[in-house]
Structures are given as C-alpha cells and as structure tokens.
Amino acid sequence: MTLDDVPGRSAYDADHEAFRETVRSFLAREGVPNVAEWEANRLVPKEFWRKAGAIGMLCPTAPEAYGGLGLDFGYNAIVDEELNYAGVPAGFALQSDIVCDYIAAYGSEEQKQQWLPRLVSGETITAIAMTEPGTGSDLQSIRTTARKDGNHYVVSGSKTYITNGQNADLILVVAKTDPSAQPAYKGMSIILVESDREGFRRGRKLDKIGQDAADTSELFFDDVRVPITNCLGEEGKGFAYLMSQLPQERLTIAIGAQSSAQKAFDETIVFTKDRKAFAGVVFDFQNTRFVLADLKAKLQVGWAHLDWAIKRHLAGELTATEGAAAKLWHTELQWEVMDKCLQLHGGAGYMNEYPIARAWRGARVSRIYGGTNEIMKELIGRSL
C-alpha cells in the first residue's frame, strides 16, 4: 500500500504528485533498506542528507536566488508524508519546515547567501536549541545567555532534547541577550552558532524509548564566542520569530502523525488478514473488523482536515490556534491508531522486530514535542 490509496486528497496538484513519486522512489531505494542499520547505530548518516539534497528533497521552499526551488509548502508536506509513511527516521522536517524559513524570513543577506544553499544541498545540517533542563515548553524561563563583548556574543548555557544534535553543523540557539528585560520574552534572541566554534560541545546522544535513529542530544555552550552578525534578525525579537512560525511547525507535526497512523493501519490490515487464529484469521473476528472500521472512519476525517489545513496554510490563512488544534487532534488520533493496531497484533505487537512496535514507541513523543498537547488545549482555550 501507499498514500495513493487514500481517496479524495485535495491539497495537491499534478506537480506536487509528480514530486511525490520522486521522493517515494528515493526513500524506497536509499532509505527503507537502511533503517534497521540506522536504528542500531542510533544515527542517520550525513551522506543520506546530501543524497536527499541532490534530488531537491531538502528545503524546497528556499528561494531560487539561494539555490532552492522556490516552491510552496505543499512540497515540504509531501516529503513529511512520505518520510513518515515509509518509516525513514531522518530529521528533514526541522531543517526544511522550520530552520529554512527562519533564515529566509529573518536572516541578513549575508546569512542567506552563506547558509541557505548549504541547507538545500544537505552540506549543512541544522538544529534549533530551545529546550533546557527544567524549562520544557516554558521558553521564557530559559537561562542560556548571549552576552555582548565588543563585536561578539559570548554564548553560555546548556540545551537538551535537541533534534539533529549529533549531526548539526549549525545550531540556532535561543538565548537571552537581555536577561533583565520584562516581560522576559523581550530579551530573547536567536543566535547562529557553528559547531566548530571553540567552547561548543555535544553531550550525550540521549537514550529514548522510541525513534532510535533520531540523534536527539544534549548541547553545551561554554563561553562560545560568535560575531554580533550571527544574530538572526533583530536582537530581542527571537520570541516573536519563534511564535510566528508555530502554525507551520505544528502543521508539520500533524502531517507526520497522520501519515504514520495511516501506515500503522495499513500494515495492521495486512497482518490481521494473514494471522491464523481458531481455524480462521484474526480479521474474521467481529471485534477486529469493528476496531478497524472505527479507525478507518477517523483516518478519513483526518485526511480531510489535514488537506483543509494545508490549503489554508498555502493561502497564508492558517492561524496559530488552528495549527495548535491540528497538532492536538492528529497526534491524539495517531496514538489511538497505534495503540489499537498494536493490540490487534497480539503478542507480536510487543516485539520490536515488528514495525508496529517501533511505530508505537516512536509515536509517543508526538503529543509532547512542539508543545505538549496540554499546552495546545490551553492555547485553544485562550482563543475561545
């Protein structure tokens, strides 16, 4: 099965779908056969990023003037869908859907020329360092500072749970350039820190319960000196920049959740029709068919909503509240699908050799990152 089996998609045109075929073929050839090795090594090799960049999979929205294709977010969404459906654990979404847009929207001309072509090619891998031990979703409580010293910032602090942390060549560090500012968000900036700067070091590649190949890491900044020109956009505007990109970030999470849920459902159909039980197969039980029927209906609704959200975002109309609602709904659906599909696998579902077990473990974090679902409810509630 493929995502082509999902009926009635409305967010994409023929050019999008032609791009999808390129992405799907690449993942089948270069990604899927290597997933087990990457999970064992707990790292996706940089070479895979460069190969993806060579066919236009990275940062398709980057302007042509900076080496990109100048396409719309729909192309990013297709990469996100196919990666998650194929179960290929590369951290492309962070680079393509978040970092690229930060630099394109707020970077200086020099920053755009220096970094965007390298992001597009995969030569440079990026990370965003926001979360700190003890802060979680409360960004205003961060303690990392970027103190001015002549024509440099001196960056000091630590970050944790950082996606692409081991591979990253460039880190966008959220730091306080004015720790005394009130309210606190007015003193926050985004500082570009290259990984070869003295004083920067990577900590542990964190041992997670899922997403084994994702190089989620601790990062440490011990008086790292970077030029003042490494500030992304205006000093003190970092929090505003982060908030402005949240609808797209949360839509990206929703897309991944929906796609991985669909894959789990499709694999469970195949499994239950093949698994023998009581002179028949598991699919023959009414309970099995009822559970799957319920999930199919919810997935159908999910795809309709997702296409609505993608089209609204392409039109520049998706609000922060709608992005939060999409993240909330699709990740909750993802967990329901994963858990019920694992149950239909019986004992096999608890074995890591079966894809559903790995998918179930990997899905648990979706309701946490990008802002916990409890925070999503709080944000939606404030808009009522």
Instruction: Look up the CATH number of domain 245-382.
Output: 1.20.140.10
Mean predicted lDDT score pLDDT of the chain: 95
Q: Give me the residue spans of the domains in the chain.
A: 3-124, 128-236, 245-382
- The strand pairing partners of 170, in sequence order, are 126, 194
Helix segments in 275-314, DSSP class H: 286-314
Q: Determine the length of the chain.
A: 384
User: Among residues of the chain, what percentage have pLDDT more than 70?
Assistant: 99
pLDDT of residue 136: 67
Residue 295 exposure: Cα atoms within 13 Å on the Cβ side: 28
With a cut of 80, say whether residue 158 has pLDDT above it.
yes
CB 163 within 8 A of CB 216: yes
Annotated active-site positions, please?
249
Q: Alpha carbon of 304 to those of 17, 77, 85, 308, 309: distances in Å?
A: 17, 15, 17, 6, 9
Cα gap 313→319, rounded to integer Å: 8
In tens, the pLDDT along 178-201 reads 998 888 888 999 999 999 999 999
User: Among residues of the chain, what percentage have pLDDT more than 90?
Assistant: 90
pLDDT of residue 135: 75
Instruction: Look up the CATH number of domain 128-236.
Output: 2.40.110.10
In tens, the pLDDT along 111-147 reads 999 999 999 999 999 999 999 987 766 777 899 999 9
Let me know if the fold of 3-124 is the same as that of 245-382. no
Instruction: Look up the CATH number of domain 3-124.
Output: 1.10.540.10
